[in-house]
Amino acid sequence: MERQLIKYLLASAQPADKVLLKGWIRTKRDSKEFSFLEINDGSCMSNIQVLAERSLSNYEEIEKLKTGSSISVKGRLVESPAQGQRFEIKAEEVEIYGPAPEDYPLQKKRHSMEFLREIAHLRPRTNTFGAVFRVRNKLSFAVHEFFQKNDFLHVHSPIITASDCEGAGEMFQVTTLDLKNIRVSEGRPDFTDDFFGRQANLTVSGQLEAELFATAFDRVYTFGPTFRAENSNTSRHLAEFWMIEPEIAFAGLQENMRLAEDFLKYIFRYCLENCSEDMKFFNDRIQPGIIDNLEAIISSEFEALSYTEAVSILMQSGEKFEYPVKWGADLQSEHERYLTEKKFGKPVIVTDYPKEIKAFYMRLNEDNKTVRAMDVLVPGVGEIIGGSEREYRYEVLVSRMKESGLNPEDYWWYLDTRKYGTVPHAGFGLGFERAVQFITGMQNIRDVIPFPRTPKNAAF
């Protein structure tokens, strides 16, 4: 007999159907003549109740089973007299794979997110993390579906790189040098001894490579792990996170903004439609109102305004900010939240930032002061997307590189795209975990990635 998943059992089963299912005991209640076992197999939030009667040959062992044990159940579906469920399973055979002793940490009580992080190897077996990782899975699929339907080519950009995309440092170095015994020449480690014969790092972004491919395939996207050694212990930063970076050729900031808005709405809608049971859980238990919020966002238009307008709104707001607002300074998370949560109450796209606070590759505006950047800010999370129209004029790009302290010779391959058949193009990066946070309402980014890497923590 073929094994079934609870998800399908609950959706389509009929009384008296024979069933075989396997899973883990969530809770158990015993009476004199029988035990009730609540089983979950991860296929959905719901458990199914199994009635195991004393007449079963191995009842003595079944009776001793505790929360966390893994079993296989053969039996028949019967209408359940219990409230809140249509069916239960009357067991005819229960096979025990692995019992779990009394010290199983996930006993039936509410655990704090902090405690669950310490047992990240077991937390997927809870309701909350079951829902988080099912939604994360669907969201990842939705990302590919959106781009594939719109003729984007998926590029696997390299994880190890010898260029610093942001020109910002904050990178993890990759080396096979023996750190206890490094040959130094002219006061610096001699990287000619290293694996790649030069200094190499984990990538902070796949954008430059995406740009190269956009000049051949027109529309491309990357979806891969990204690493930043920034020491920000916040609820929105990880040292290892996943980023989605589309890049479109023959396009500018307007097309880029439209793409970002359409894309976000598409993946939000996908989750509402395909994760309804889990989304209901987030709505009831994690962030009340989140379903209505997402629906409102899908059917409304994002607000768009320039950085200069944003600064003047913030200065006139009368709010007391910890970081003062002034033209030329980067927007802090408190400013971003004021704009999305208080001022507009919806996602906001801020464009045209001062060039000093943005990367060298962003297209310079006529004013020579601002660049065609765009950040998409959402309520609760703040910045979810950072993007721009790219500087596609060879001379301007070279001088912006020099201004930013980069050596154009190191980027000869990147500059070649501007030398041979250059085109206006644009793109952005969406932090995948910030999107999962936004959709689920989970407060801390550490709780939407299976095994978070943060300063001083790489456990599991």
- Which one, 45 or 374, has the nearer CB to ligand ATP? 374
Considering only 126-134, 156-164, 236-244, 287-295, which stretch makes contact with ligand ATP by CB under 6 A?
236-244
| Identity of the amino acid at 70 | S
- Which one, 145 or 230, has the nearer CB to ligand ATP? 230
Closest CA to 16 of 74, 75, 73, 76: 76
For 269, the token pair is: 């809608």
CA-CA distance, 113 to 242, in Å (whole number)? 21
Provide, rounded to whole angstroms, the least separation between the CB of residue 1 and ligand ATP.
Answer: 45
Buried b (16+ CB within 10 A) or exposed e, 332-368: bbebbbbbbbebbebbbbbbbbbbeebbbbbbbbeee
- Which one, 255 or 383, has the nearer CB to ligand ATP? 383
Identified binder of ligand ATP from the candidate list 63, 145, 303, 383, rule CB under 6 A: 383
CA-CA distance, 25 to 379, in Å (whole number)? 38
Say whether residue 434 binds ligand ATP (CB under 6 A).
Answer: yes
Say whether residue 228 binds ligand ATP (CB under 6 A).
Answer: yes
Say whether residue 335 binds ligand ATP (CB under 6 A).
Answer: no
- Which one, 370 or 422, has the nearer CB to ligand ATP? 370
Quick one: how far is CA 361 from the chain centroid? 25
Provide, rounded to whole angstroms, the least separation between the CB of residue 243 and ligand ATP.
Answer: 5
292 neighbors 346 (Cβ within 8 angstroms):
no
- Which one, 182 or 406, has the nearer CB to ligand ATP? 406
42 neighbors 25 (Cβ within 8 angstroms):
no
- Which one, 246 or 429, has the nearer CB to ligand ATP? 429
Identified binder of ligand ATP from the candidate list 71, 131, 385, 426, rule CB under 6 A: 385
Say whether residue 429 binds ligand ATP (CB under 6 A).
Answer: yes
Q: How far is CA 97 from each of CA 42, 71, 89, 301, 448, rounded to the nearest angstrom?
A: 17, 5, 19, 53, 30
Buried b (16+ CB within 10 A) or exposed e, 203-230: bbbbbbbbbbbbbebbbbbbbbebbbee
Considering only 11-19, 29-37, 40-48, 430-438, which stretch makes contact with ligand ATP by CB under 6 A?
430-438
CA-CA distance, 148 to 162, in Å (whole number)? 30
Considering only 33-41, 228-236, 302-310, 389-397, which stretch makes contact with ligand ATP by CB under 6 A?
228-236
Give the dihedral of Cα atoms 330, 334, 339, 342; nearest 10 deg: -170
Say whether residue 237 binds ligand ATP (CB under 6 A).
Answer: yes
Provide, rounded to whole angstroms, the least separation between the CB of residue 287 and ligand ATP.
Answer: 19
Binding mask 343-382 for ligand ATP (x = CB under 6 A): ----------------------------------------
Say whether residue 238 binds ligand ATP (CB under 6 A).
Answer: yes
Say whether residue 73 binds ligand ATP (CB under 6 A).
Answer: no
Considering only 51-59, 66-74, 101-109, 232-240, which stretch makes contact with ligand ATP by CB under 6 A?
232-240
Binding mask 242-281 for ligand ATP (x = CB under 6 A): -x--------------------------------------
CA-CA distance, 35 to 49, in Å (whole number)? 10
Identified binder of ligand ATP from the candidate list 211, 261, 278, 433, rule CB under 6 A: 433
Say whether residue 331 binds ligand ATP (CB under 6 A).
Answer: no
Q: How many residues bind ligand ATP (CB under 6 A)?
A: 15
**How crowded is residue 183: how many other Cβ atoms within 10 Å of its Cβ?**
11
Say whether residue 120 binds ligand ATP (CB under 6 A).
Answer: no
The interface with ligand ATP within residues 13-32 (CB under 6 A) comprises none
**How crowded is residue 300: how many other Cβ atoms within 10 Å of its Cβ?**
12
Identified binder of ligand ATP from the candidate list 220, 384, 401, 448, rule CB under 6 A: 384
Identified binder of ligand ATP from the candidate list 241, 281, 302, 438, rule CB under 6 A: 241
302 Cβ contact partners less than 8 Å away, ≥ 6 residues apart: 257, 261, 346, 347, 348, 349, 376
- Which one, 230 or 303, has the nearer CB to ligand ATP? 230
Binding mask 160-199 for ligand ATP (x = CB under 6 A): ----------------------------------------
Residues that bind ligand ATP (CB under 6 A): 228, 230, 236-238, 241, 243, 383-386, 429, 431, 433-434
